Structure 1
Amino acid sequence: MSNAKYKRYLKQSIPFGIIWLVFAVVYTFLEFGILGDSKYYPSTGNLYDFKSSFIHSCIAGFLSGFIQGWIELVWLRKLFINRALWVKVVVKSIFYVSFILIVLIIFSLLANSRLLKLGLFDPLVIRSLYVFMQEFSFWSVVIYLGLISFVALLFSEIREYVGMGVLYNFLLGKYHKPKQEIRIFMFLDMKASTTIAESIGHKQYFKLIKKYYADMTDAILETEGEIYQYVGDEIVVSWPERKGIQHNNCIRCFKKIKDAFEKNKQEYILEFGIAPDFKAGYHIGEVTIGEIGNIKKDIIYTGDILNTTARIQATCNTYKTKVLISEKLLLKLSKEKDFTHTKIGELELRGKKELVQLHSISF
Structure 2
Amino acid sequence: MLKLTPRTKRNINRIIPFGLIWFILSLVFLFSEHAVSGAQGNTLDSAINVNLQVFIFASFGVTLVGLLVGVIELVYLEKHFVTYSFKAKIFYKFIIYTVFLSIIIFVMFMIAASIEMNTSILDIQVWNKYVTFFFSITHLSTLMQIGFSLLISLLYAEVSENLGQNVLKNFFTGKYHNPINEERVIMFTDMKASTTIAEKLGNRKYFELLRAYYNDLSNAIINNEGEVYQYIGDEIVITWNLKKVKGADASIKCFYDMKTDLEKRKDWYHKTFHFFPEFKAAIHVGEVTTGEIGALKKEIFFTGDVLNTTARMQSLCKEFSTDLLVSQKVLDDIQEKSTFQFNSIGNIPLKGKQEKVSLFTVKIH
Common fold: TM-score over 0.5: yes
- Number of the residue aligned with 2:289: 288
Shift of 1:69: 0.5
Residue 184 of structure 2 contacts residue 247 of structure 2 at CA under 8 Å; is this kept in 1? no
Contact 1:183-1:238 at 8 Å conserved across structures: yes
* Structure 1 residues 212 and 117: alpha-carbon distance in aligned structure 2, compared to 1, 3 A threshold: closer
Taking only aligned residues, the RMSD between alpha carbons, in angstroms, comes to 2.6
The offset of 1:184, in angstroms, is 1.0
2:71 is the counterpart of 1:70: yes
Give the residue type in structure 1 aligned to 2:183.
Answer: I
Amino acid at match of 1:191: K
Contact 2:46 2:138 in 1 (8 A): no
| Cα distance between partner residues in 2 of 1:258 and 1:47 | 60
Q: Give the whole-Å Cα distance in 2 for the aligned partners of 1:78 and 1:62.
A: 24
The equivalent of 2:26 in structure 1 is 24
**Separation in structure 1 between the aligned mates of residue 270 and residue 248 of structure 2, nearest angstrom:** 33
In the alignment, what sits opposite 1:15? Answer: 17
Measure, in 2, the Cα distance between the counterparts of 1:57 and 1:192: 58
Instruction: Measure, in 2, the Cα distance between the counterparts of 1:4 and 1:290.
Output: 25
Q: Which position in structure 2 is the counterpart of 1:314?
A: 315
Contact conserved, 1:184 with 1:241, CA < 8 A, in 2?
A: yes
- 1:346, distance to aligned residue in structure 2 (A): 2.3
Cα displacement (A) at 1:342: 1.1
Please, which runs of 5 or more residues in structure 1 have no aligned partner? Answer: none
In the alignment, does 2:100 pair up with 1:99? yes
Corresponding position of 2:360: 359
Contact 1:8/1:222 (CA < 8 Å) preserved in 2? no
Identity of aligned residues (%): 38
SS of equivalent to 2:44:
coil
Provide the rounded CA distance (Å) in 2 between the counterparts of 1:125 and 1:352: 78
What is the deviation of 1:25? 2.7
- Which stretches in structure 2 are left out of the alignment for 5+ residues? none
> Per-residue deviation at 1:327?
0.8
> Which of residues 23, 35, 38 in structure 2 aligns to 1:35?
38
Deviation at 1:91, TM superposition (A): 2.0
Aligned AA (2:149): I
Contact 1:43 1:135 in 2 (8 A): no
Residue equivalent to 2:165? 164
Checking the alignment, whether the CA contact within 8 Å between 1:224 and 1:243 is kept in structure 2 is: no
- Superposed displacement of residue 262, structure 1: 1.2
Structure-2 change in CA distance of 1:113 and 1:285 (3 Å): closer
Look up the SS of the partner of 2:276 in the other structure. coil
Q: Distance in 1 between matches of 2:199 and 2:277?
A: 14
Shift of the alpha carbon at 1:332?
A: 0.7
Q: After TM superposition, give the deviation of residue 357 of structure 1 in Å.
A: 0.6
Q: Is contact 2:325-2:361 (8 Å) kept?
A: yes
Letter in 1 for 2:179: P
Q: Which moved more, 1:2-11 or 1:93-102?
A: 2-11
The farther-off stretch of 85-94 and 125-134 is 125-134
Cα 1:187–1:16, aligned 2, differ >3 Å: closer, same or farther?
same
Distance 1:17 1:109 in 2: 22
Matches within 5 A, 1:116-135: 128-135=129-136
Report the counterpart of residue 301 of structure 2 in structure 1.
Answer: 300
Report what 1:208 is aligned to.
209
